[in-house]
Amino acid sequence: MTEGLCPFFKDAFVLKPPKMSSLTIKMIMLVIATVCGVYICSVCLKQISNQTKSSIEVIGRPGIICETNNLNYPYLHYPQPETFSRAECAGNPVRFFVIITMQRSGSGWFETLLNSHVNVSSNGEIFSVMDRRDNVSSIIRTLDKVYNLDWFNSASKNECSAAVGLKWMLNQGLMDYPEEIVEYFNRRGVSAVFLFRRNLLRRLISVLANSFDRHAKILNGTHKSHVHSLEEAETLSKYKPLINSTSLLSSLKETEFTMAQALTYFNSTRHITLYYEDLIKNRTKLADVQDFLGIPHMNLTSRQVKIHKGHLREHIKNWIDVNKTLNGTAYEKFLQLDY
């Protein structure tokens, strides 16, 4: 889960042949030690040149980087916002995160849960605005502003944020510049929270229904992607989309492929992978998330109400057709009631 800090070290062990003389082993250990030393130094030098407080921390704990893959440094930051002073919380470290997800995967709900924490500022889908992701330099400028705590919206906790981040959809520039963005995440110590949905058929229904409502505006003439009452949820779920069974399999495959590709691109970034269904079924997963973000445990709450509940046959116009299309395929499980 938290790979990437000491790649040389790990690979050296993977490549180790079964039998070796003790001299060879000693030589290998020497090489490893040298490589790690150089690596630590380069990290320290980079930090010193950045004049951040965290560099002081690492100097105080030399060698720790190669002992464990799961350490706090370089994930602790002491941002100095240009727009305000962190006041009494200036000495509290801040972690940087990004929620990597797709539309209609529960990330709106998940983000309201996170933002109910007194020390979390998750700034929403900021890359939905085109000119923030025109090119890689506008992306980096935007990220710098967020992680420097200079980004403001209703989620900002300002002084006492202990974790700051945003929600980033795979189709909002993230997959267009993977190398530069991975480099940025790893250089700045950004942790990734992947949030996906296991049941991609349910996600598809939500995508179609949401896109229908964008024009139909079922709720009193306004389009809502998320609702706060059972009545609204019930009204929205009355619409049953017709699913194109000709393109269904290839569309599910494509979504699955995109998710796998994102996991591959960002595999060297410190990350945790979450599934919406697991969060719904098991609230203790939220404690894992808080541990991952290094924030004190709190009971997280959201006012959002789930829209499509119950069996899928109630939510698809051409259910028999869809059932037949997925019968006997790898996606057959999506037909079952899974939570």
Ligand X SMILES: *[C@@H]1O[C@H](CO)[C@@H](O)[C@H](O)[C@H]1NC(C)=O
Which CB, 44 or 245, lies closer to ligand X?
245
Q: Report the alpha-carbon angle 173-178-183, nearest 5.
A: 120
Which CB, 14 or 23, lies closer to ligand X?
14
Specify the stretch interacting with ligand X by CB under 6 A; choose among 59-67, 131-139, 171-179, 199-207: 131-139
Judged by CB under 6 A, does residue 217 bind ligand X?
Answer: no
What distance in Å separates the CA atoms of residue 277 and residue 269, rounded to the nearest whole number? 24
Judged by CB under 6 A, does residue 181 bind ligand X?
Answer: no
The phi and psi torsions of 167 (rounded to 5 degrees) equal -110, 130
Judged by CB under 6 A, does residue 134 bind ligand X?
Answer: yes
**Type of residue found at 29:** M
Among 3, 125, 180, 256, indicate the residue that binds ligand X (CB under 6 A).
3
**Type of residue found at 98:** V
Is residue 298 within 8 Å of 118, Cβ to Cβ?
yes
Token digits of residue 136: 């890689």
Specify the stretch interacting with ligand X by CB under 6 A; choose among 40-48, 65-73, 79-87, 259-267: 259-267
Q: Is 149 left (phi over 0), alpha (psi -120 to 50) or beta?
A: left
Judged by CB under 6 A, does residue 235 bind ligand X?
Answer: no
Among 116, 211, 304, 323, indicate the residue that binds ligand X (CB under 6 A).
323
Judged by CB under 6 A, does residue 301 bind ligand X?
Answer: no
**Strand order across the beta sheet in which 95-101 lies:** 120-122, 163-169, 95-101, 190-196, 271-275
> Which residues would be at the binding site for ligand X (CB under 6 A)?
3, 89, 92, 118-119, 131, 134-135, 137-138, 160, 162, 220, 244, 246-247, 263-264, 267, 282, 284-285, 288, 296-299, 313, 323-324, 327-328, 335-336
